[in-house]
Amino acid sequence: MATESGAPVDRIRSHWWWRPGWSYGRRCHTWRITFAERPEVHRLVSRYQSAMLSLLGFDLAPLESLHLTVQDVGFTDEVGEDEANAVVDLVQRHLAGTRPPEITLRGIVITEETVALPVLPTHALDSLREVVRGAAAEVLGAERVPAPPEGPARLSIAYANSDVNPVFVRALVSDLDLEPVSVPVDSVSSLVLHRDHQMYEWDKLATVRLG
């Protein structure tokens, strides 16, 4: 199991270090695809997580907080709620009548900070990300929009909270042969997100439906 570049990871580190700009108590306007109404995804994730219950050094992602990152818009002390709502209006306008893409969650990947399910096809979310990023740039100006997510989309199911030897992770999950799950991406949500408690938590600002 490999990094996004294809090279096997030889070290896993904690995911919960403070990225630039982040601090305890700070919130961010962001767009995510959530899976609260996808029991088929919950079942798949639960199978993998059950295999990891004896593994120390990881926080298993609560099923209600499973998500795929689309695009950050900005911290709430830099982007006002009126601006965030204006982005919602534009995204809603641009996605009206758009056919929902279908994604497949298949296999497992171990990264330097997470255990995740790859999203296939690899570029399935590119158009959606471009719509949200374009709407944010139109409202805020391109120079205020945070960088897009790095690498291919993946659904994180466990986050490292300390240094872990990936050998132990591979031993528990690499032999699992689970059926892939395919779901349509029929909505995307604007969230006010924080990570104060070593998990991703949010309040929902709006949900935009596709199709």
Return the pLDDT at 1.
44
57 located within any domain: yes
CA 211 to chain centre: 22
Residues 160/13, Cβ–Cβ less than 8 Å: yes
21 located within any domain: no
Mean pLDDT of 91-112: 95
Return the pLDDT at 27.
98
What is the domain range of residue 97? 28-209
Return the pLDDT at 36.
92
Return the pLDDT at 151.
86
Residue 186 vs residues 24, 45, 144: alpha-carbon distances, Å: 32, 20, 28
Q: What is the pLDDT of residues 150-187, one digit of tens each?
A: 889 999 999 999 999 999 999 998 788 899 999 999 99
SS3 content of the chain, % helix, strand, coil (to 5): 25, 30, 45
90 located within any domain: yes
56 located within any domain: yes
184 located within any domain: yes
Q: Look at the chain and report how many structural domains it folds into.
A: 1
With 60 as the cut, is the pLDDT of residue 6 above it?
A: no
156 located within any domain: yes
With 50 as the cut, is the pLDDT of residue 3 above it?
A: no
With 70 as the cut, is the pLDDT of residue 7 above it?
A: no
With 60 as the cut, is the pLDDT of residue 195 above it?
A: yes
* CATH code, domain carrying 139: 3.90.1140.10
Return the pLDDT at 63.
97
15 located within any domain: no
Return the pLDDT at 47.
95
Average pLDDT score, the chain: 94
Backbone angles phi, psi at 144, to 5 degrees: -95, -10
- Report the b/e string of 136-160 with b at 16+ CB within 10 A: beebbeeeebbeeeeebbbbbbbbb
Q: What is the pLDDT of residues 16-64, one digit of tens each?
A: 999 999 999 999 999 999 999 999 999 999 999 999 999 999 999 999 9
4 located within any domain: no
Q: What is the pLDDT of residues 102-136, one digit of tens each?
A: 999 999 999 999 999 999 999 999 999 999 999 99
Q: What is the pLDDT of residues 64-87, one digit of tens each?
A: 999 999 999 999 999 999 999 999
